[in-house]
């Protein structure tokens, strides 16, 4: 599976998680921190009845997850490495543990909801920082504001560049699909919704690790010497490229006797 496909799958998981956070955990966004910042800003005016505890702990947990991931990947090589596998695998396990707690105890009191929001945001912070390291263009896996900006700005109504339109549209579509799936699963059980997101993240981890261990067979080895076409002529086998032909003729020229 390509890196783009893996990041798009994570984008779907983010839609599921954010649906659970908003619908069941006091209007908290676990992946989209812009929403939490705006909610906290509006709540600061007072008299809005907007949640403060959940968005606050989610914001802090997201930053912690992103900071720890950034520290781990600071000296990592570009592309998918064993560290990416460990970090995304850890995020998937955190989601799985949260799903188990939600499935057994439910959303509970405000303190329980805040702790569940914190664990979801921690996993999303790790996911977002790992995706940032992998650097798939236009796919951050947690927000689509910049993706929508690029989609509109480069469209025929904008700059008419048409670059990356499919990739951007896919990211927006998948986060919407994830939100729809998360909302539908919440009607059954919020733990089931988070479990589906955990499954996606863990599946991406396995596929990404496998693709890193077994790169495409079409990759050209640098140590393999290039082969040039050749033709048969009256003087024997001659290369069609002039420079190579001259080298070939020089090699065939007999050595001059020393005086």
Position 249 scores a pLDDT of: 54
Position 46 scores a pLDDT of: 85
In whole angstroms, what is the distance from residue 164 CA to residue 151 CA? Answer: 8
In whole angstroms, what is the distance from residue 14 CA to residue 62 CA? Answer: 13
SS in 3 state form for the chain? CCHHHHHHHHHHHHHHHHHHHHHHCCCCCCCCHHHHHHHHHHHCCCCCCCCCHHHHHHHHHHHHHHHHHHHHCCCCCCCCCHHHHHHHHHHHHHHHHHHHHHHHHCCCCHHHHHHHHHHHHHHHHHHHHHHHHHCCCCCCCCCCHHHHHHHHHCCCCCCCCCCCHHHHHHHHHHHHHHHHHHHHHHCCCHHHHHHHHHHHHHHHHHHHHHHHHCCCCCCCCCCCCCCCCEEEECCEEEECCHHHHHHHHHHHCCCCCCC
Q: What b/e string do you get for 25-51 counting C-beta neighbours within 10 Å, with b at 16 or more?
A: bbbbbbbbbebbeebeeebeeeeeebb
Task: Report CA Rg, the chain.
Answer: 27
Position 220 scores a pLDDT of: 39
- Residue carrying structure tokens 């929508």: 148
Distances (CA, A) of 75 to 87, 179, 209: 14, 35, 18
pLDDT by residue, tens only, the chain of 259 residues? 799 999 999 999 999 999 999 999 999 999 999 999 999 999 999 888 899 999 999 999 999 999 999 999 999 999 999 999 999 999 999 999 999 999 998 888 888 999 999 999 999 999 999 999 999 988 999 989 999 999 999 888 888 887 888 999 999 999 999 999 999 999 999 999 999 999 999 999 999 999 887 765 434 344 445 555 555 555 555 545 555 455 545 545 554 444 4
The sign one gets for the Cα dihedral 177, 18, 36, 124 is negative
Strand partners, 230: 239
Position 156 scores a pLDDT of: 85
148-151: list long-range contacts, CB under 8 Å, 24+ apart.
148/172
- CB-based burial label for 153 (10 Å; 0-12, 13-18, 19+): exposed
Position 94 scores a pLDDT of: 97
Q: What residues contact 92, with CB distance under 8 A and at least 6 apart? A: 123, 198, 201, 202, 205
Position 237 scores a pLDDT of: 53
pTM, two decimals, is: 0.80
In whole angstroms, what is the distance from residue 178 CA to residue 19 CA? Answer: 8
């Amino acid at each position: 599976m390509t890196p783009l496909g893996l990041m798009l799958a994570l984008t779907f998981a983010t839609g599921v998680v954010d649906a659970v956070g908003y619908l069941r955990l006091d209007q908290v966004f676990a992946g989209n921190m812009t929403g939490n910042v705006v909610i906290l800003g509006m709540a600061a005016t007072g008299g809005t009845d907007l949640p403060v505890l959940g968005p606050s702990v989610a914001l802090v947990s997201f930053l912690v997850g992103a900071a720890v991931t950034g520290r781990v990947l600071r000296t990592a090589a570009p592309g998918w490495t064993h560290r990416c596998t460990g970090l995304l695998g850890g995020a998937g396990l955190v989601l799985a543990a949260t799903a188990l707690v939600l499935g057994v105890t439910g959303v509970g009191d405000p303190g329980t909801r805040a702790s569940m929001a914190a664990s979801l945001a921690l996993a999303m912070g790790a996911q977002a920082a790992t995706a940032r390291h992998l650097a798939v263009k236009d796919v951050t896996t947690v927000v689509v504001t910049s993706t929508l900006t690029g989609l509109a700005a480069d469209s025929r109504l904008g700059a008419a560049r048409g670059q990356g339109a499919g990739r951007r549209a896919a990211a927006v579509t998948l986060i919407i699909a994830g939100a729809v799936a998360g909302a539908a699963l919440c009607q059954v059980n919020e733990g089931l919704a988070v479990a589906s997101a955990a499954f996606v993240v863990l599946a991406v981890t396995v596929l990404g690790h496998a693709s890193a261990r077994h790169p495409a067979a079409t990759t050209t080895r640098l140590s393999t010497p290039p082969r040039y076409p050749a033709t048969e002529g009256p003087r024997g086998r001659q290369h069609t490229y002039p420079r190579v032909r001259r080298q070939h003729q020089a090699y065939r020229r007999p050595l001059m006797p020393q005086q």
